[in-house]
Amino acid sequence: MNKYIQENKDRFLSELLDFLRIPSVSADSKYKGDVRRASEFVQKKLQEAGVDKAEICETAGHPIIYAEKIINPALPTVLVYGHYDVQPADPLNLWDSPPFEPVVKNEKIYARGACDDKGQVYMHVKAFETMMKTNSLPCNIKFMIEGEEEVGSNNLGIFVRANKAKLKADVILISDTSIIANDTPSIDVGLRGLSYLEVEITGSNRDLHSGVYGGAVANPINVLCEMIASLKDANQHITIPNFYDDVLVLSEQERKELNLAPFDMKAYTQDLQIEETRGEKGYTVLEQTGVRPTLDVNGIWGGYIGEGAKTVLPSKAFAKISMRLVPNQNSDKITELFQKYFTSIAPKGVKVEVRPHHGGEPVVTPTDSKAYLAASKAMETTFGKKPIPTRGGGSIPIVALFEKELGLKSVLMGFGLDSDAIHSPNEHYGLFNYYKGIETIPLFFKYFSE
């Protein structure tokens, strides 16, 4: 490891723990002040590390931090993107230690945001500090760190469109994804898109006695379940007409390459304590999560859920439904197909409302660009193994937008593990991964600038 990183290891960790103590939950307005404090923390740390300027840019929602160090306008520029907001921590009772009181246990940092994405953002801040302090920053660098990634990045889109000149760069570098394993580095070369909506089924105009009316009047919860169940067939194939129309079909060669990545079904099911997986028939798990679309209920509610029993025929039922999309599907089009179909399958005894939430487009990133090759070489140097290009199943909707608005491709050089429990209780990030990131990032800059 680089001498400067070695000498400052403990401070790099304690600063990250300070960052993790700020509960920057973007979804919950109760934390608005904390989200702002987190943005100020990033601004201050970037200033201390040596940027020319670091601004807190106001938006209609949470602020965006923009910072830059321009050493020579003639040199290339790397734009680092990340997010300082985190997912809500609940259910709190399932955490072994409080989500915003980070602890280091078994060589891992436990806290909400440890991996997604504060830990990975902070690697960039410390990698930048390292390059500054060791006089080895080889090109210009810009930072755009947002506070609304976990709620759809709506205001970032506006910011990007309004600040195209300011954000001018040669490539976008993002650490917000995973590697296969600590001894098997990988780089995501694709992300899925997303169409997220909420549905509301209304039956009678009021809750009814389930004995007096039950058997005659439609129960919106039963109806909702029937409707949702009919959205997939026995092969886990989605039944919405035209849903697969635009799905890019991989060639046999591409499928073969994708499945070269190591995958251990036994370890996978054992880790999740499930007997077997249940995905779309005819596809491997790597395909199901990487290049095939999905439809999932994220939450469903209605009726009586309090203690004991209440015999009630509810008036309403609700569900939040998301579809992960793959190239070349389009989120607006899929949202519309869903809306049309879901409304059409409702029985006459109920009313349906479908409310779109947010969407995002899928992306694939090149594996032959200078930036990808620099990331690959940097990881090969620090891991001692060439990283495998993989398709990530998650979504970072802004990546497609960067490409559309700025004409810029991204490199997804993440250092997390799928088992880091992001969005779940006991989220954690390995010290190995944190320091590996800080060590690898300066090499990316070096190889990209050569």
By the criterion CB under 6 A, which residues form the site for ligand BES? 116-117, 149-150, 152, 176-178, 191, 194, 360, 392, 394-397
Contact partner, 152, from ligand BES, Mn ion, none, Cβ < 5-8 Å per class: ligand BES
Per DSSP, the three-state class of 25 is strand
Residue nearest to ligand BES (CB): 394
85 is catalytic: yes
Could you give the CA distance from residue 341 to residue 97 in angstroms, rounded to a whole number? 44
Which is closer to ligand BES, CB of 155 or CB of 178? 178
Smallest distance, Å, CB 152 to ligand BES? 5
Q: What angle do CA 42, 45, 50 make, to 5 degrees?
A: 125
Tokens of 106: 């078994």
Residues 163-182 contacting Mn ion, CB under 5 A: 176
Is 287 a binding residue for Mn ion by CB under 5 A? The answer is no
Candidates 149, 188, 287, 420; catalytic one: 149
Could you give the CA distance from residue 344 to residue 321 in angstroms, rounded to a whole number? 17
Residues 71, 73, 78, 82: is their CA dihedral positive or negative? positive
Contact partner, 360, from Mn ion, ligand BES, none, Cβ < 5-8 Å per class: ligand BES
Could you give the CA distance from residue 361 to residue 401 in angstroms, rounded to a whole number? 8
Q: State the distance between the two ends of the chain, measured CA to CA, in whole angstroms.
A: 21
Non-local (6+) Cβ contacts of 368 within 8 A are none
For 396-426, give one letter per residue: b (16+ CB within 10 A) or e: bbbbbbbbeebebbbbbbbbbbbebbbeebb
Non-local (6+) Cβ contacts of 291 within 8 A are 190, 248, 250, 258, 326, 391
Which is closer to Mn ion, CB of 116 or CB of 148? 116
Q: What angle do CA 156, 288, 407 make, to 5 degrees?
A: 30
Which is closer to Mn ion, CB of 117 or CB of 129? 117
Contact partner, 63, from Mn ion, ligand BES, none, Cβ < 5-8 Å per class: none
Which is closer to ligand BES, CB of 4 or CB of 434? 434
Which is closer to ligand BES, CB of 41 or CB of 81? 81
Smallest distance, Å, CB 209 to ligand BES? 40
Could you give the CA distance from residue 387 to residue 187 in angstroms, rounded to a whole number? 6
Candidates 34, 68, 85, 427; catalytic one: 85
Which is closer to Mn ion, CB of 85 or CB of 350? 85
Smallest distance, Å, CB 120 to ligand BES? 8
427 is catalytic: no
Is 188 a binding residue for Mn ion by CB under 5 A? The answer is no
Contact partner, 178, from Mn ion, ligand BES, none, Cβ < 5-8 Å per class: ligand BES
Contact partner, 119, from ligand BES, Mn ion, none, Cβ < 5-8 Å per class: none
Smallest distance, Å, CB 422 to Mn ion? 6
Which is closer to ligand BES, CB of 119 or CB of 302? 119
Could you give the CA distance from residue 182 to residue 100 in angstroms, rounded to a whole number? 26
Tokens of 23: 């509960």
Count residues near Mn ion (CB under 5 A).
3
Write the interaction track for Mn ion spanning residues 91-120; mark x where CB under 5 A is met and - where it is not. -------------------------xx---
Structure-token match 């609700």, residue found? 318
Could you give the CA distance from residue 418 to residue 420 in angstroms, rounded to a whole number? 6
Smallest distance, Å, CB 1 to Mn ion? 26
Contact partner, 129, from ligand BES, Mn ion, none, Cβ < 5-8 Å per class: none
Could you give the CA distance from residue 406 to residue 386 in angstroms, rounded to a whole number? 30
Q: Which residues bind Mn ion (CB under 5 A)?
A: 116-117, 176
Residues belonging to the active site = 85, 149
